[in-house]
Amino acid sequence: MTIVNEVARLETDDGIAVLILDHPPVNVLSKILREGIEAGLRRALSDDAVDAVVILCEGRTFISGADIREFGRPPEGPPLEALNALIEGAEKPVIAALHGTVLGGGFELALSAHARIAMPSTLLGLPEIRLGLVPGAGGTQRLPRLLGLSHALDMILSGEPMGAARAKALGAIDEIAHGALTPAAIAFARRFLEEGRPLRRIRDETEKLQAPGGNGAVFDAVKARHARILKGNDAARGAINAVYAATQMPFEEGLARERQIFGELLAGPQSKAQRYLFAATRAAAKLPGLPPGTRPRRIARIGVVGAGTMGGGLATAFLAAGLPVTLVETGREALDRGVSTLRAGLEASAAKGKLRPEEVGQRMARLTPSLALADLADCDLVIEAVFETMAVKREVFAKLDAIVRPDTILATNTSYLDVNQIAAASRLPERVVGLHFFTPVPVMKLVEVVSARTTAPDVLATAMALARTLGKVAVSVGASDGFVGNRMLRARRVEADRLILEGAMPWDVDRVFTGFGLPMGPFQIADLAGLDLGWSRETSKGRTLRARLCEVGRRGQKSKAGFYDYDDERRGRASPVVEELIAAMSEEAGLERRSITDREILERCLYPMINEGAKIIEERVASRASDIDVVWVNGYGWPPTMGGPMFWADAHGLRDILETLRRYEERLGEAFRPAPLLERLVEEEGSFTGLF
């Protein structure tokens, strides 16, 4: 064995050199690892006793990607492109032995090898688009040569990893290892030599760069498939351009074009926002102030109270994570309907190829429908998804208190009610926590994990861990009316409602927000969710436009009429009925309608949201400004390319926001009064994202 440096060593096995990399926790391509790779390769390739080289990693994964901390710094040590050229240009076979998550630069390095062998559980991908970047070390040039334009572009634009079986089918890897990776890789290298295989250098291959029927049709089809991400996304357009360069230029020129695009994106605002968001998401997983040694509890069985849309979605998500679920309803009809809807959802997923057919039965076998709360006695965590009123939720918790074990966690799925009051219904309030999921639960990534004043540290840690088990992005928030997301949303909704009484129309407001960069405006979102969500005919007094629309049967997209009129394809158009209702309400309020500029619409809807975010930070409802941004990107449709509302506010300029709020306060009153934190940050020339 030869020690190369602190993270690399060489071992030889009868002519096969094994370059072993060990840079915990995930073998990122930091300077020291790149130095170890270069030195180890040069030593092995210059050794006459070595016939082939295997590169593999110890720990839980092969090289997992670049060290994001080095982005934007002056380069030190050998660049990855030089390592790839060294590997690809070697006169001896270099085999990449893969396991774990082989992402970004790790996958690009593997693509420069002459062959690849991978464990069955290996995932391979190029997720740079999630950082607002394109692959920067040959990924946009080698992958199309290996997979063809369509598959390569799908992989780059989605950022999604590919499993080993599919990678083998497409030709991204040459063999799947069975048993231990090291002996399998050495045996593969020997066969490579014995069979006299030629050294495959992907850079020299061009056949798959020309698609049957012409490349234009391929690029058009890819753009249609990925239209959503291409809209306003600099990195997505950059990826298309880089892959196009692969079809038009020699390899080295294509590499230079890729690097140029990478550099432009790295310096641009969208990548800065997305790299900030990457760090923010990691930070959100950390719980400041948690006592040392706090560990999550083991959760082996889940109880769900309520089999409606939310309860069924929760059960579906827990079943997908492999957890047995007891689903309780008060009536047979509601229970049967909930179970039927759940099964139909699984069968639809199987029909689309998202589940294997046998998985439908396997998941349903983990579901226990019940009409009795007593059947929740053995659950480790019970979450309620009942009607959104305090009295109903407190009643459910009081009943559960008498049934479940003392160590069972009780979770409420409330979207805005006071978790402190709900916890007070339990004789053990320390076991109560909020888990605010978003609909549709299997799709939406965000979970606001809400701590009551009494929530035990290990209960909070368990709730966060459980959300991550479901593949969700969990953010710890404090008990407050609406928590983080809905509280800020309310500030926007109040102003949007005022604006349409003063002179704007719903489609004016929505157009401003989609022009700003959001996928939908507030009234489009309301129609999609359903205007009758939380509305009751018995208690409605028609004070708001939403209430009046519900009273006349305009409930949103589902009724083909809400703020908009809808056709059979759910395409919305301006509604004369809504225009008449708004005009009547303006007259009732004694308001003379006027022309309102797009700028005023944006300022009056967006700036109060940011101001509310400042109050949320002041009150410690959110631990960090970045937590607010994680909430908004993952739960409310804020584009990742814009970082989040607090990040956007910093970039836009807090002084302008403060001065604008003060002007509106003079004209419109207390709703625009600046938060003390905002005033302090402007005075100190600080920023929201620089607070913690």
Q: Which residues are catalytic?
A: 66, 105, 108, 128
d(CA 254, CA 257): 5
Using CA atoms, how far apart are residues 264 and 255, in angstroms rounded to an integer?
Answer: 14
The SS3 assignment for 303 reads strand
- Cα torsion 219, 222, 228, 234: sign: negative
Strands 473-478 vs 565-566: parallel, antiparallel or unpaired: unpaired
CA atoms 679, 682, 683, 685: torsion sign:
positive
Structural contact between residues 306 and 388, judged by C-beta atoms closer than 8 angstroms: no
Contact 240, 149 (CB under 8 A): no
Residues forming a β-bridge with 368? 326
Please tell me what DSSP assigns to residue 416: S
Count of H-run helices and E-run strands, the chain: 28, 20
Angle between helices 269-284 and 645-652 (to 10 degrees): 140
The burial of 64, by beta-carbon neighbours within 10 Å (0-12 exposed, 13-18 middle, 19 or more buried), is given as buried
525: left (phi over 0), alpha (psi -120 to 50) or beta: alpha
Rounded-to-integer distance, Cα 214 and Cα 247, Å? 11
What is the amino acid identity at position 636? Y
Rounded CA separation 205/144 (Å): 10
DSSP state of 209: G
Asked if residues 275 and 644 have their Cβ atoms less than 8 Å apart, the reply is no
Instruction: Tell me the three-class secondary structure of 599-664, residue by residue.
Output: HHHHHHHHHHHHHHHHHHHHCCCECCHHHHHHHHHHHCCCCHHHCCHHHHHHHHCHHHHHHHHHHH
Pull the structure tokens for residue 396.
Answer: 């459910």
Q: Which residue has the tokens 């560990």?
A: 295
